[in-house]
Structure 1
Amino acid sequence: MMPFAYSKPADIEAAVRLAGPDARFIAGGTNLLDLMKENVAQPRRLIDITGLPLREVSETAAGGLLVGALVGNAELARHPRIEADYPLLSQAILAGASPQLRNMASSGGNLLQRTRCPYFYDTGTPCNKREPGSGCSARTGLNRNHAIFGASEHCVATHPSDMCVALAALAATVHVQGRQGTRQIAFADFHRLPGNEPERDNCLSDDELITGIELPAPRFAEHVHYLKVRDRASYAFALVSVAAALTLDGDRIGELRLALGGVAHKPWRQPDLEARFQGQPATADTYAEIARVMMSGAQPLAHNAFKVTLAHNAIIRALGTAQQRQSGATS
């Protein structure tokens, strides 16, 4: 680990003034410190934001919630309003990491997790995400855990967060502040596909700080389910995960939300597909057709073709479970 300067600003404006390409904001540090220990990240300055006033969960004028960036994952998952009105988010958070990590991790930091691709962490192997232009070892190496959607010749890494898959399905908004002022970013636009710049995980500028995550007014408080499929039941990242949310109009689908994790460089959602199945019968046959259409564009690699079938079956199961689930269930 290389030497670095440390600052703990008293307000948001001071924090963003210190920011830049060689600096990193730090809160819980559950991912950044690992990256620094492995010399994958080598910031010259750490900006400790734990003293900033970003720990509140407050109601918005539109009837939703604004979650401060420093609200802990464990606290958020068990917040009464989240459990009651956004159970999909609670389920996703509780499916991620371990209790100890959830106690440390911040909501804003969860959005900034970097891939767990082993080649990214191994500084002895080429990786375009770690060192642009060096190559992608996963393309010709072991790629069992890698992307089947949205990859490029430069990177096939996947995004690791569970929380973000639920936020994608719920169409959250990310609030940020930088030296040029504040802005709000639709969650679908926050994370990037790798393209020709796999080193960029999101659309933030170097000086921008996540200040909060806005949840829209609750519409999916009953028929929701987060399904995570992994190699072991204990702490492990998803091979495939599904965030499913439904409203029902009698025996038909009123509104559908569906997002996948573990399959792309960002949470994978297809709003056009969701709209296509509005009004269709809420049956296993419909769910199978939804899964077929959603997986039709998959492009598996040498070792992860099993993810196509796995995700197909997980979608059917998640939608069927969501249909049967009752309000307030978070397990």
Structure 2
Amino acid sequence: MQANKPNFSQKHPLLFGIMLIIAAVALFAGATAALRVTKGNDIPYFAQEKFGVINVEGFIADSRKVSDWAYALRTDDSIKGVVVRINSPGGGVAASQEMYYAIKRLAEVKPVVISMGTVAASGGYYIAAAGHKIIANPATLTGSIGVKMELPNFKGLMQKIGVSYLSLTSGKLKAAGSPFQTMTQEERDYLHAIIMDMYDQFLDVIVEGRHMKREQILPYADGRAMTGKQALAAGLVDMLGDRETAYTELAKLCKLDAPLPLEEGPKKKTNFLKELISTALDLAPVNTVREQNSIQLLYN
């Protein structure tokens, strides 16, 4: 009588064990999602009323993710209000403006409360001006209202190493700010006019968003950073508090007794298969704005 051939689990016990763990994790995740759909209410989870959260983090260089997420929250009827959590020192001028406009459009149709984290300065404060209410921690670093242009210059170094530079342009200001030549007074005046125009745009946004007169803002708009407590005294924020304070204030604006569940974004892209395998193994026992000539214009 011929002996029974070993089955797959007997021939490959380790691989079979890992497959079982992955299947168990997948079933657990599915069951959890199914429970979340109906837990505590009779309407589907995806249709439940929620608060949206927009996270603005780090140096501001690319506005796409934040702007797209703001649009998604604006067009989602289940989102009743939004908290914009800012933890950014600022960044590119145009990117800051795009985020500002995206949140401003959102604020035109839904209540928006700004919650400042460790830092919400320069471009970070520019974005904050779009909200209905701004809340900062007492020690939040904010303000820094201004524009700067960074222009490295290598002319002295090139002369030392015996390298010359020739620039042919269609106009006398085309090469303004070049790191390979000395800046003329005319070029300096030209670039400074660009900075001041963007500075005026910054002030206009604060005047509109904070309902303040220009004269009230100017004493604090010289590039200085300030704490949340100082910003409150200057009228640049509405109150002091933490993230939970922001949710409570948003509930008040939405005429609700308590905050709603949260829908946070922009979503970070993840590889589901990698996460699943990682979980299984854990369970197993075994836009700076950068123009030509290296010119950087920053709300920073």
| TM-score bin (small chain) | under 0.3
Structure 1 or 2: larger helix share?
2
Higher relative contact order (CA 8 A, sep 6+): 2
> TM-score, normalised on structure 1?
0.22
Q: TM-score, normalised by structure 2?
A: 0.24
Structure of higher CA gyration radius = 2
